Amino acid sequence: MRSIMLIALLAGLFLFISNPVQGAEDVPDCSIDMGPCIHTVAGRQVTFDISPRPVKTMKELTFTIRATGRNSELTILLDLSMPGMYMGRNEVLLKKNPDGSYSGKGIIPRCPSGNKLWRAELTISGAGKVSYTFNVNR
Amino acid sequence: MLTGDSVYLLMFGAGLLGGLGHCSGMCGPIVAAYSLNLSPSDEAARPYTSLPHLFYNAGRITTYSIIGGLMGLTGSFANIVQSIEKFQAMTMAGIGALMILMGLGTSGLFSFKQKGDIPPSRRTPAAVLVDAVRRVISFIAETQTSGSFYAIGMATGFIPCGLLYTAYIAAAGAGAGAADRLEGFLKGMLMLFLFGIGTAPSLFLIGRIAALKRDWLRKRLYRISALFMIFIGALLIYRALAS
């Protein structure tokens, strides 16, 4: 009986981990292939954009962020993750451009499970965090 | 961006975290499948029952380290991945086929072991060819030397994996920032070596648990064990074709 329970537990673990349960927030809130996405955090409008389009995995991408308001002292960190599945730390180094925007290059890896939903989380100094959830193309 | 000496600790930590969740779910079935295929337990051999798992993980880590070194050497993730993508898909399909063969062997429906030489009267070219294929399949699916597990581990290391790609991206980034190519190569190799070490405990544990129960499973649920292996093999082939 214990052996059967152990096997069932292992099988259940495999299935659960291989098919992560997606929460209510794990739905796309950004159609990145259609254009930049805008969210608001701490009174600032933050625009998130990826080029080139369509946004594909395994290709070098340019991530561009613009924030309204005074941003001369801002630092912005960008972290890419897959909702529901641990994919390691994938941070994009952002540099400030002369026009006040921030940009950096990064890669979104392909998940063999077929899952295409990714999240870009921005940590903005003095403002907090804002995230964009979007589907990518293979 | 991962920078500085802390990157090595972070890679190990990523491997540990990934091993508990990601790897257990994605590679765990492969580990369980070959573990179920291990020979019946033998009291005299018991001290060595961890060896297959150690060699399997060593093989995996070898592949990760070599590719990590290449990422660091070139400083480019996309270029290296593009050149190995087709090979990765073929390897995944090959391992899937291996799992199916192991499953067929476990089910007792087929045995690929050669029973004696072909009698001279039956030595037609077709019979010799079939015999050669049978020997290769038997070697791959039923040989249980340390080298065979190391080879399986090395092959498994090529299976496409999103978590692994993230580690390779980090290695390529470290290489891009290195003073020279040798430094980049060594950094990339060390990063993936530590990442691989981090993933090992969970997969080792899965292998040991599955192996401990193999005799029990064989006696009572051998058909289910076989079906499990065949299912995993078919899933791998499907993913290889879909990629």
Contacting residues of B for A61, CB less than 8 Å apart: none
Boundaries of every domain in chain A: 23-135
Taking only the tens place, the pLDDT of each residue in B114-145 is: 566 667 776 777 777 777 766 766 666 566 66
Asked whether residue B14 carries a pLDDT value surpassing 50, the answer given is yes
At residue B21, the pLDDT reads 74
Residue of B nearest to A77 (CA): B1
Least confident of A117-126, B19-28, B131-140, B153-162: B131-140
What does the DSSP 8-state code read for residue B115? Answer: -
| Helix, coil or strand: residue A38 | strand
Inter-chain residue contact B10 with A109, CB threshold 8 Å: no
State the number of CA atoms in the 13 A half-sphere of B62 facing the CB. 14
Which tokens is B146 given?
Answer: 């340390």
β-strand partners of A51:
A62
Q: What's the whole-number mean pLDDT along residues B90-95?
A: 85
Does A106 score more than 90 pLDDT?
A: yes
- How far is residue B62 CA from its own chain's centroid? 11
Q: A80-94, A101-115, B193-207, B211-225 — which is least confidently predicted?
A: B211-225
Residue A19 confidence (pLDDT)? 47
- Is the pLDDT higher at A16 or at B104? B104
Tell which A residues from 45 to 84 touch B, by Cβ distance under 8 Å.
58-60, 82
Residue B138 confidence (pLDDT): 64
Q: Which residues contact B88 (CB under 8 A, 6 or more apart)?
A: B158, B159, B160, B243
Per-residue buried b or exposed e for B60-97, using 16+ beta carbons within 10 Å of the residue's own CB:
bbbbbbbbbbbbbbbbbbeebbeeeeeebbebbbbbbb
More confident residue, B192 or A70: B192
Residue B154 CB contacts under 8 Å (≥ 6 apart), including other chains: B59, B60, B62, B63
Asked if the model's pLDDT at residue A55 lies above 60, the reply is yes
Class of CATH domain A23-135: mainly beta
pLDDT tier, A60 (very low <50, low <70, confident <90, very high otherwise): very high
| Mean pLDDT, chain B, whole residue set | 80
Cβ contact, residue pair B165, A112, below 8 Å: no
From the list A13, A14, A110, the residue facing B162 with the nearest CB is A110
pLDDT number for residue B141: 59
Q: Do B160 and A112 touch (CB under 8 A)?
A: yes
- Which of A16, A77, A89 would you mutate first to test chain B, the one with the most B CBs within 10 A? A89
- pLDDT of B143: 60
Q: Which residue has the higher pLDDT, B118 or B6?
A: B6
Most confident of A37-51, B48-62, B73-87: A37-51
Residues B30-43 pLDDT 10s:
777 777 666 555 44
- A3/B81 touch (CB, cutoff 8 Å), yes or no: no
Spatial separation of the C-alpha atoms in residues B65 and B87, rounded to whole Å: 17
Q: pTM of the full predicted structure?
A: 0.80
Of B78, B209, B243, the CB nearest to A107: B78
Q: Say if residue B60's pLDDT is above 60.
A: yes
Listed range (A17-21, A55-59, A103-107) with the worst mean pLDDT: A17-21
Contact A106, A51 (CB under 8 A): no
Cis peptide before B201 (omega within 30 of 0): no
- Per-residue pLDDT band for B57 (boundaries 50, 70, 90) equals very high
